[in-house]
Structures are given as C-alpha cells and as structure tokens.
C-alpha cells in the first residue's frame, strides 16, 4: 500500500474522479466477451491493450477538463490463480498480465504530468465479495488497527447507497472515501440476467450522488460502476466543479 502522505487525493481540495463501468462498456459498447467479467485476458493482445488504454484516456481527459485528479484501476480483477480456469489463462500468463496492467497505467501517468493520475491496484476477490459495509469496515479496522486509509462502496445505485449510509454510525461514515455507483436501479440479479445495458437516468444518478457528497465527510473519490460510462463521470465531475 502506498504511503498515505503520497496519495494526492487525501490532500487535494477537490474530489478526484475515477472511471465508470469499464467492463459493461466493453461488453455492450465494444461487443467484447469477458470471461467471468474479467478484463485481464484483453491485455493478452495488442488490440485489447489499445482498447483499454483509449478508455482510460477518456477518463483522464475528463479529469483534465475539470481540473482535478483521477484514480484509474488496473485491469487485474480476478487476475489470480484461483480464477485461472474461468478466465482461460495459465498462472504464468496471469502473473505476466498483472505486470502489463500496471505498466499501461504507468505509461498513461508518465504522459500526463499536468494532473494527478493515481494507480489503484485491484486484488482478488476470492468470490464476489458483496458484504455489509458497516460490518466490513468495523471488522477490518479492528483487525488491522485502522491501517486502511479509507474504504470504498460500489456496485449499487446511489439511491441504495444512500439508504445504507443513513444506517451507518458516524464513525463508519467517516471511513468511506470512495463511492462508485451503478447506473441502474435494478437489483444485481436483474442486471445479471439483462441482455441490454441500462444506463439509467443520468440526471437522477447525479442528483442522488450529490446527496451522498453531503453525507460522507471523508469522501475523496467519486465514480461509476456497472452501466456507467464517460457521460456519467463527466456529469458528476461537472457537479463537483460547480459546488467546489
């Protein structure tokens, strides 16, 4: 883990943005197959690497347009030995592509000296990792003596995150530093069985995201998850810029 003093989003006067739902963009907009929803296999080809790099660049451009920094995540979700059969890669391939994923972001950061580009390394999960936020935050903080810099909440529409946050103790709320909201109000089961992308109502997404900004005093990073894309992130970045 990076030293806390070296994470620019912790000391910035502006909220940083992060990416939208790159996986759903690749599936529904680029018509690409992602085994077990993993983007790691794409890095095995030049075309795949270029596709990923171009999507990253669009989010960097949004950050530049709104004079803030950006957190970009390595395409290493499920890039571990346990998932080797499901994603169709050998363990040596997985190790090599994990390094490739980091190098891609290093190259983007080196080409963008005018703003902060933070590389977020995605690890795991062993399973799907859906957990109750309050219980998870308290458990990890207790186990690690508050070692974690901050926690993130993702893969739910801001409306549902609001409901969860309202039920949190204030000490848990203060530990939430990143929110990435789904575009759709559908349940996970409904989304898993949907043949079309539900981009949701972006105006509603932004409005309810804005309510979260007022509920989470430790928030540092905002972005999207399933169903969101550059338009969602540009919209929330515009809202942040207008009130910042």
Instruction: Write the pLDDT tens digit of every residue in 24-41.
Output: 999 999 999 999 999 999
Angle between helices 202-215 and 230-243 (to 10 degrees): 50
Assigned domain for 95 exists:
yes
Same domain, 108 and 158: no
- The CA-atom distances, in angstroms, between 169 and each of 116, 138, 154, 163, 185 are 32, 10, 19, 13, 25
Residue 49 and residue 15: Cα distance in Å, rounded?
28
- 182 and 78 share a domain? no
Domain boundary residue, one of 94, 127, 160: 127
Does residue 142 share a domain with residue 119?
A: no
Whether residues 35 and 62 share a domain: the answer is yes
Boundary residue ending a domain (83, 104, 127): 127
Same-domain pairing of 67 and 139: no
- Same domain for 100 and 67: yes
SS (H, E, C) 116-168: CEEEECCCCCCCCCCCCHHHHHHHHHHHHCCCCCCEEEEEECHHHHHHHHHCC
Is 4 inside a domain boundary?
no
Q: Can the peptide bond before residue 125 be classed as cis, meaning omega within 30 degrees of 0?
A: yes
**What does the pLDDT look like over 181-216, one tens digit per residue?**
999 999 888 887 888 999 999 999 999 999 999 999
Q: What is the mean pLDDT of residues 144-168?
A: 94
Is the domain of 137 the same as that of 152? yes
Examine the domain organization and report whether 176 and 107 are in the same domain. no
Nearest Cα residue to 241 out of 206, 195, 192: 206
Q: Which domain holds residue 179?
A: 130-244
Q: Give the residue-averaged pLDDT of 105-131.
A: 88
Structural domain contains residue 1: no
> End of a domain among 108, 127, 146?
127
Share of the chain above pLDDT 70, in %: 93
Going by pLDDT thresholds of 50, 70 and 90, the confidence category of residue 244 is very low
Does residue 135 sit in the same domain as residue 241? yes
**Confidence band, pLDDT 50/70/90 cuts, at residue 62:** very high
Is 84 within 8 Å of 90 (Cβ atoms)? yes
Q: Is residue 78 domain-resident?
A: yes
Q: Is 146 part of any domain? A: yes
Q: How far apart are CA 167 and CA 158, in angstroms?
A: 14
Which long-range contacts link 86-91 to residues 24+ away (Cβ below 8 Å)? Answer: 86/35, 86/36, 86/38, 87/35, 87/36, 87/38, 87/40, 87/41, 88/35, 88/41, 89/40, 89/41, 89/44
Our count of domains for the chain comes to 2
Neighbours of 234 (CB within 10 A): 19
| 37 plus 103 within the same structural domain | yes
User: Is there a domain that residue 168 lies in?
Assistant: yes
**98 and 135, same structural domain?**
no
Name, in order, each residue with C-beta under 8 angstroms of 219's C-beta and a sequence gap of 6 or more: 15, 176, 177, 178, 179, 212, 213
Residue 156, in any domain of the structure: yes
Q: Do both 79 and 151 map to the same domain? A: no
pLDDT of residue 1: 43
Note whether residue 8 is domain-resident: no
């Amino acid at each position: 883990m990076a030293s806390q003093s070296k994470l620019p989003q912790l000391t910035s006067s502006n909220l940083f943005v992060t990416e939208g739902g790159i996986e759903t963009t690749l599936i529904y907009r680029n018509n690409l197959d992602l085994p077990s929803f993993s983007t790691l296999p794409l890095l095995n080809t030049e075309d795949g690497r270029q596709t990923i790099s171009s999507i990253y660049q669009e989010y960097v451009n949004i950050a530049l347009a709104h004079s803030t920094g950006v957190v970009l995540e390595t395409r290493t979700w499920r890039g571990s030995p346990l998932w080797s059969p499901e994603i169709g890669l050998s363990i040596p391939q997985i190790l090599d592509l994990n390094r490739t994923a980091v190098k891609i972001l290093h190259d983007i950061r080196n080409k963008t000296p005018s703003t902060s580009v933070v590389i977020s390394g995605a690890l795991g999960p062993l399973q799907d990792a859906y957990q109750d936020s309050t219980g998870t935050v308290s458990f990890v903080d207790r186990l690690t003596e508050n070692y974690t810099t901050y926690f993130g909440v993702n893969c739910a529409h801001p409306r549902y995150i609001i409901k969860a946050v309202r039920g949190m103790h204030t000490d848990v709320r203060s530990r939430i530093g990143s929110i990435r909201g789904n575009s759709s109000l559908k349940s996970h089961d409904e989304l898993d069985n949907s043949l079309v992308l539900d981009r949701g109502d972006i105006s509603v997404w932004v409005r309810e995201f804005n309510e979260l900004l007022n509920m989470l005093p430790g928030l540092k990073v905002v972005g999207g998850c399933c169903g969101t894309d550059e338009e969602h992130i540009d919209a929330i970045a515009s809202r942040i810029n207008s009130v910042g």
